[in-house]
Amino acid sequence: MRILHLNEQRGWRGGEQQASYLIEGLARRGHFVAIAGRSGEEFIQRDHGLQDLTRVGCPFRGELDLFTALRLAKAVKTLGIDILHAHSSHAHTLACLARKFAGSCKVMVTRRVDFVPKSHVLNRWKYALPDRIVCVSRCIAEILRGFGVPESKLSVVNSAQDPARFDVTPYTRAELGLPDDVPLFGNVGAFVGHKDHATLLDAMAIAKKTLPDCHLVLVGDGELRDAIETHIAAKGLGSSVTLLGYRSDVPRILPVLDAFVLSSSQEGFGGVCAEAMFSGVPVVSTDAGGMIETVKPGITGLMVPKRNPEALAAAMARLIEDPDLSADLADRATGYVNEHLTADRMVEKYVGLYEEMMGER
């Protein structure tokens, strides 16, 4: 099969990593893969683990960028593409337009967010066009089902990780400028609203009442950095929170944590919790979106209601105060992700869906 992967996002986050795993896995199975992305951005510049990769640079000037759609259509015809696979919302629309102009190929869209689509004419048209929409959790599939997407067009393939990515030498706390011999919590995520760092910081202030020496490290950056720094100061947490910024070496950071904490109010799947699990770190998470498909309460982690700093703080303290529980949760979680959430398993599921789509042709 010949697949062209589209992603117009700037920077590199979880969705780009998932697409990269798929691109490499497909190529290693003998399929032709090409990528299209915003010129100059990381997605199109990376090699995705491959020596030879066809790249289609486009401006991606918005959801209805006809120039980009025509350029993609030309690539479809020139490269003999069977499937256009869109990995982001704007790429979804442009893939459908490109198929219209090319007059051939199938369109698959992967949806990673648990936001309800806005109910307007463009979205109704947009979500009716793909041949298949693959959701990274059952929660997202249910949302799209309620929006009116036919069951026949919906599939679920969980996000995944490459276990080899976590076979690394961990940092020491000293190397990261973090205190030794104190309970250390961590969070990895973009500084955006739905990650709800405010609830995490509120929970941290509460947790310090029972764990006065505890420390929190935040890995990430984004539009809310100033607001987060202001919140840290307002809670008197200046000496108890370290901001490490955006890092490309997260697998080396995770093992230094005593517990990973996800505070999101919305979350498609929570792949970062799976990363912590691959690293052998116990997890506490909110019940946002598709988190229940990774964090099985009391089995692979602890789960609390979203936007509830008191409950989050109590769970954080419990993981520190009960080391046997933490060890059991981490052990079961590591077994679960290695059995169910590996990149190889994800790629095989996508190959099966591609084959179904080709058969429908």
**Digit-coded pLDDT (tens) for 11-43:** 888 899 999 999 999 999 999 999 999 999 999
Residue 361 has pLDDT above 60, yes or no: no
Residues near 212 by beta carbon (within 8 Å), at least 6 away in sequence: none
Whether 224 shows a pLDDT value over 70: the answer reads yes
Burial (CB count <10 Å: 0-12, 13-18, 19+), residue 172? exposed
User: What number is the average pLDDT over the span 338-353?
Assistant: 97
- 151: Cα separation from own chain's centroid: 24
Residue 130, judged by CB atoms within 10 A of its CB (0-12, 13-18, 19+), counts as buried
Question: Percent of the chain at pLDDT above 90?
Answer: 89
User: What percentage of the chain carries pLDDT values higher than 70?
Assistant: 100
Q: Convert the pLDDT of each residue in 40-78 to its tens digit.
A: 999 999 999 998 899 999 999 988 999 999 999 999 999
Place of tokens 């994800």: 346
Residue 272 burial by CB count (10 A; 0-12/13-18/19+): exposed, middle or buried? buried
Q: Listing from the earlier edge strand, what are the strands of the sheet with 2-7?
A: 54-58, 32-38, 2-7, 83-86, 106-111, 132-135, 154-156
Q: How far is CA 268 from CA 30, 192, 330, in A?
A: 30, 14, 22
Sorted by where each starts, the structural domains of the chain and their CATH numbers stand as: 2-160+342-360 (3.40.50.2000), 165-340 (3.40.50.2000)
Ordered strands of the 184-188 beta sheet = 241-245, 215-219, 184-188, 259-262, 283-286, 302-304
Which residues are CB-contacts of 336 (< 8 A; sequence separation ≥ 6)?
277, 296, 299, 300
Backbone angles phi and psi of 312, in degrees to 5: -65, -45
Q: Give the least confident one: 109-123, 125-139, 330-344.
A: 109-123
Asked whether the beta carbons of 163 and 274 are under 8 A apart, the reply is: no
Residue 220, pLDDT above cutoff 60: yes
Q: Which two tokens stand for residue 301?
A: 């982690």
pLDDT, tens only, 254-299: 999 999 999 999 999 989 999 999 999 999 999 999 999 999 999 9
pLDDT of residue 11: 86
pLDDT in tens, 325-335: 999 999 999 99
Q: Provide the mean pLDDT of the chain.
A: 95
In angstroms, the CA 210 to CA 212 distance is: 6
